[in-house]
């Protein structure tokens, strides 16, 4: 098992990438803590993990709140003794998010507070815990739109994920010699509830699909496998990367036939 004796804290672990990753990490030997605001869905994920004979715990946490982020790290160390893997995955994609002219300040602030500030706060409190454990891996969920403009306007989301990517690079440089690796997982368009609620018409879906050389949306389980690589010792010489798992969308110049 690739994560045997490791402890992983996953934000946004009740659904999508977070849930798929929690299940996979547990199956690979990690003790898993899920931090989320959706108590019911998160507990269902915990129940799935424990039913398979693995150890897991849940704490309610809003990643945009400093006290909650401090508490989720403290909870992890109290429950399982240490923190080895921090997956800052929680995020939103607000349906009101559009272009700069039409997106309101409330949508901008909410998106930045969760998607960007939430990663900062996770690292603020998580890095000292990783140091106490002798090092570890931080994975921050960015996006392919960290590198490309989105075909469907989502200005706040795109800006927030660009911030995550820049934050990841700086943290990787600052903490590399402390045994802490920091990488950004950059998914392409996925068949998750988060994106499907945003791409809520067939026209919006096709605007994305036409640019993906593989011709399909990715699956949360595919992102979980990428996160497993970044969390494990298989990526021991990997830090500061933009780890693209995007069906080829960032490599495409023209629309595929």
What are the distances in angstroms from CA 74 to CA 99, 122, 163, 249? 39, 12, 26, 39
237 tagged catalytic: no
First-to-last alpha carbon distance for the chain, in angstroms, is 42
- Single out the residue of 238, 122, 223, 124 nearest to residue 172, CA to CA: 238
Q: Is the dihedral of CA 127, 234, 20, 82 positive or negative?
A: negative
Query: Of 125, 157, 237, 253, which residue is the catalytic one?
Result: 157
Instruction: List CB contacts of 213: < 8 A, sequence separation 6 or more.
Output: 247, 248, 249, 251, 252, 256
- Residue 213, token pair as written in the block: 């050389």
Q: Which residues are catalytic?
A: 157
């Amino acid at each position: 098992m690739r994560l045997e004796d490791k402890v992983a804290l996953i934000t946004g672990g009740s659904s999508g990438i977070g849930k798929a990753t929690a299940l996979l990490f547990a199956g690979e030997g990690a003790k898993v803590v899920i931090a989320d605001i959706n108590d019911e869905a998160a507990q269902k994920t915990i129940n799935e993990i424990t039913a398979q004979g693995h150890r897991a715990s849940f704490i309610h946490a809003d990643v945009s709140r400093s006290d909650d982020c401090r508490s989720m790290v403290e909870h992890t160390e109290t429950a399982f003794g240490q923190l080895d893997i921090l997956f800052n995955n929680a995020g939103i994609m607000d349906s009101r998010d559009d272009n700069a002219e039409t997106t309101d300040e409330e949508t901008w602030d909410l998106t930045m507070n969760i998607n960007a500030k939430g990663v900062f706060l996770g690292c603020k409190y998580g890095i000292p815990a990783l140091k106490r454990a002798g090092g570890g891996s931080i994975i921050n969920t960015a996006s392919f739109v960290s590198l490309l403009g989105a075909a469907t306007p989502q200005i706040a989301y795109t800006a927030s994920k660009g911030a995550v990517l820049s934050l990841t690079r700086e943290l990787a440089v600052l903490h590399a010699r402390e045994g802490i690796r920091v990488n950004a997982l950059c998914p392409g368009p996925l068949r998750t509830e988060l994106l499907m609620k945003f791409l809520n018409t067939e026209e919006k879906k096709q605007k994305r699909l036409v640019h993906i050389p593989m011709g399909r949306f990715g699956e949360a389980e595919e992102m979980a496998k990428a996160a497993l690589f970044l969390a494990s010792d298989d990526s021991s010489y990997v830090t500061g990367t933009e780890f693209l798992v995007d069906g080829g969308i960032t490599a495409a110049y023209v629309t595929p036939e």
